[in-house]
Amino acid sequence: MITQLKNARVFDPAHKKNGVVEDIYISQGRIVAKPSDTIKISTSLDLSGKVVMAGAIDMHSHIGGGKTNIARMLLPEFQASKHYSEPEAHICTPGCSHFATPTSTETGFRYIEMGYTAAFEPALMPVNARQAHLEMCDTPMIDKGAYALLGNDDYFLRMLASQQDQKAINDYVAWILHSTQSIGIKVVNPGGINAFKFNQRRLDLDEKNRHYQVSPRQILQSLSRAVHELGVSKPLHVHCNNLGAAGNFQTTLDTMRASDGIPMHLTHIQFHSYGKEGDKQFSSAAAEIAEALNKNKHITADVGQILFGQTVTASGDSMMQHLNARHANPKKAVLMDIECDAGCGVVPFKYRDQNYVNALQWAIGLELFLSVEDPWRIFLTTDHPNGAPFTSYPHLIRLLMDKSFRNDAFAKLNLDAQAMSNLLSLEREYSLYDIAIMTRAGAAGLIGLKDRGHLGIGAAADITVYTDQADREAMFSKPDYVFKNGELVVKDGKVVKVVWGATHTSKPSFDVSVEKDLSDYFNKYQTMQLANFKINPDEIADDGRGSIVVHSGKHSDETA
């Protein structure tokens, strides 16, 4: 069975193809070379004039696990109004969805309908890994994966406080990747979630946890080194200290410096690019952050753009979400301390374009997108659902690609916020090639998905076909065709076949004797046994829908 996609206008940055017209061949779920003339082509689609890219990859989206489900449970009023399509803000379009808490099933459908074929849960709490995987296994159509949270767990902080060597830390980090079936490691407010349990209310980069006497800087350096030395492709995913606080850009710059040349990914950097200039003591520091990102080639970032309307913020950062709960809309928040592992804070937000801070947050995100020069090191996210639901990506893409659309939107914002932003002076418009880098090739490269995010021979046939339209929001909202592992699953923006994606993991080798001390720790201090903490691969494959893919890391001695 060979499927031929004829006359495709290919945007495949991994192979430097920028609108090259060529034919693509698919066999057994993979992209293959042009078969010999004797082999029969079973299906042929003429894609003349159509834009063809690999399936898009969302490298940061809260799609499964405790806090996502708490958000659903907390906000039944959103579920009831999910078919509501009237724009709530002056600059939003009806296509700019305000539906922040889709079910697991809907998450898969909404992603694939937009041409996304994979999404990664960025904050899997190890003790909650089973729930996260249960939800992701109930998410159809797309591939999944997760970054496991470390750095606020008492086990790790004890290791750091007792000055255990890097090798011991590395073994523990690798053990967590295996035990939680994750592909990367994330740290949220390094040390801060833990410090909040000791009643500390803020934690700066060099401020020490009251009990452990270790600083966020030490945590970051230890974890980023572990991830790097283990050869895990995905650099440490960092949610910096001081989320959302005016003046926090300094912490972000200091965090970049603390990386010490080791790759680090700073996530939803928009929420960490705030100055405190001006009458309202809240200003854009996007220029400073972008300049530092341009200079530090080992740092990558995703934006976490906010868009206007109702959403809900779901974060592991219980310390900062406790502060942010003052701004909750509707006025309610769920905050949790969880299992000597981490915590969570779920706070509904309504971003309004006439609110000074919200309007400036919107502008800061776009300033970052447009000022960071290298599209391979900046990624398109709304930190779903924190900045906006992922369904608003087509709207965001139009804002990046269409300067007049962007400037018209800017002109409707709170006037004081307009006065504090340089957005109008930024002329840049993203190209289709840039979009393909950010949402495909770059994302796959960052996570270490070697056979995704590109259209080369041997790649998985995750392919999205769009009609080239001047209205980029319309174009990216509704692809003509989406192929998942070579199967046609979406036609004219509608799902035509239900499939179940795989779960991507990374499993670097480690010294199994690490379990000796861990087992003792679990017996003494935790409330479940170590054997029950670990996620067995069978749990993901048990119903015949899920499967696990293990990615080799940067080291050649990687175990599969």
Partner 1 sequence: MTVANPPIPTSHHTCPACGLLCDDLPLDGLGSISASFSCAKSQRYFSQAATAPSQPASVNGQACDLNTALAAAAKILQNSQQTLFAGLGTDVQGMRAILPLAEKCQATLDHMHSESSVRNTLAMQNSGWQTTTLSEVKNRADLILAIGTDIVSSHPRFFEKLVWNKDSLFNKGTPHVVYLAVDEADTQAGVAPDGTSPTVLAADKKALPAILNSLIAMCNPAYAKSNKAASVAGLSMAALKALLEKIQAANYAVVVWSASELAYPHAELTVQSITQLIAKLNEQTRVAGLSLNSGDGDISVNQTSTWLSGFPIRNRFKHQQVSYDTQHYSTAVQLKSCDALLWVCTFNPKPPPNFAGPSIVIGHPNTQFERPPAVFIPVGVPAVHDSGTVFRMDGSIALQVKKLQASQHPRLFEVINQLAGLMP
User: What residues from 125 to 154 belong to the interface with partner 1 (CB under 8 A)?
Assistant: 125, 127-128, 130-131, 134-135, 138, 154
* Residue 331 near partner 1 by CB under 8 A: yes
Count of residues of this chain found to bind partner 1 when the rule CB under 8 A is applied: 58
Give the one residue of 32, 45, 287, 340 binding partner 1; rule: CB under 8 A.
340
Bridge-based pairing state of the strands 283-284 and 299-302: unpaired
Beta strands 481-484 and 463-467, pairing class? antiparallel
Query: How far, in Å, are 218, 426, 530, 548 from residue 286 at the CA level?
Result: 26, 12, 44, 39
Please identify, using beta-carbon distances, which residue of 72 and 398 lies nearer to partner 1: 72
Binding flag, residue 549, partner 1 (CB under 8 A):
no
Pairing of strands 50-54, 463-467: antiparallel
Q: Which is nearer to partner 1, 42 or 105 (CB)?
A: 105
Taking the complex as a whole, how short is the minimal distance between the CB of residue 501 and partner 1, in angstroms?
Answer: 17
Which residues does 369 contact at the CB level (< 8 Å), separation at least 6? 303, 305, 378, 380, 400, 430
Span of 124-132, 168-176, 413-421, 436-444 interacting with partner 1 by CB under 8 A = 124-132
In the complex, minimum distance from the CB of residue 127 to partner 1, in angstroms, rounded to a whole number: 6
**Alpha carbon distance 363, 305 (integer Å):** 9
Asked if 336 interacts with partner 1 (CB under 8 A), we say yes
Cβ at position 77, least distance to partner 1 in Å? 8
The pattern of x and - marking residues 64 through 93 that bind partner 1 according to CB under 8 A reads x-x-xxx-xxxxx--xx-x-----------
Q: Distances in Å between the alpha carbon of 556 and those of 230, 287, 509, 559? A: 11, 39, 11, 9
140 forms beta bridges with none
- Among 7, 18, 27, 103, contact with partner 1 (rule: CB under 8 A): 103
Question: Min. distance of Cβ 36 from partner 1 in angstroms?
Answer: 45
Q: Which residues contact 83 (CB under 8 A, 6 or more apart)?
A: none
Q: For residue 207, what is the DSSP state?
A: P
CA distance 341 to 451: 33
Rounded CA separation 394/115 (Å):
11
Q: Measured from the CB of residue 133, what is the shortest distance to partner 1 in angstroms? A: 9
* Among the listed residues 198, 297, 511, 519, the single contact to partner 1 using CB under 8 A: 198
Beta bridge partners of 505: 550
The three-state (H, E, C) secondary structure of 303-326, written as one string: CCCCCCEEEEEEECCHHHHHHHHH
What six digits make up the tokens of 388? Answer: 């906006």
Binding mask 153-192 for partner 1 (x = CB under 8 A): -x---x----------------------------------
Rounded to the nearest whole angstrom, what is the least distance from the CB of residue 224 to partner 1 in the complex? 25
Least distance in Å: CB of 491 to partner 1?
21
Q: How far is it between the farthest Cα atoms of the chain?
A: 74
Backbone angles phi, psi at 123, to 5 degrees: -145, 65
Among 101, 170, 267, 477, binds partner 1 (CB under 8 A): 101
Of 85-93, 195-203, 300-308, 398-406: span binding partner 1 (CB under 8 A)? 195-203
Query: What's the rounded Cα separation, in Å, for the pair 39 and 28?
Result: 14
Alpha carbon distances (Å) from 94 to 69, 84, 134: 26, 9, 32
Decide: is 384 part of the binding site for partner 1 (CB under 8 A).
no
Identify the helix (H) or strand (E) that includes residue 174: helix 166-180
At closest approach, how far in Å is the CB of 497 from partner 1? 18
Window 500-539: contact mask with partner 1 (x via CB under 8 A): ------------------------xxxxxx-xx------x
134 or 541: CB nearest partner 1: 134
Note whether 332 binds partner 1 by CB under 8 A.
Answer: yes
What is the Rg, in whole angstroms, of the alpha carbon atoms belonging to the chain? 23
Q: Name the residues that contact partner 1, by CB under 8 A.
A: 64, 66, 68-70, 72-76, 79-80, 82, 101-106, 125, 127-128, 130-131, 134-135, 138, 154, 158, 196-199, 211, 322, 325, 328, 331-341, 346, 524-529, 531-532, 539
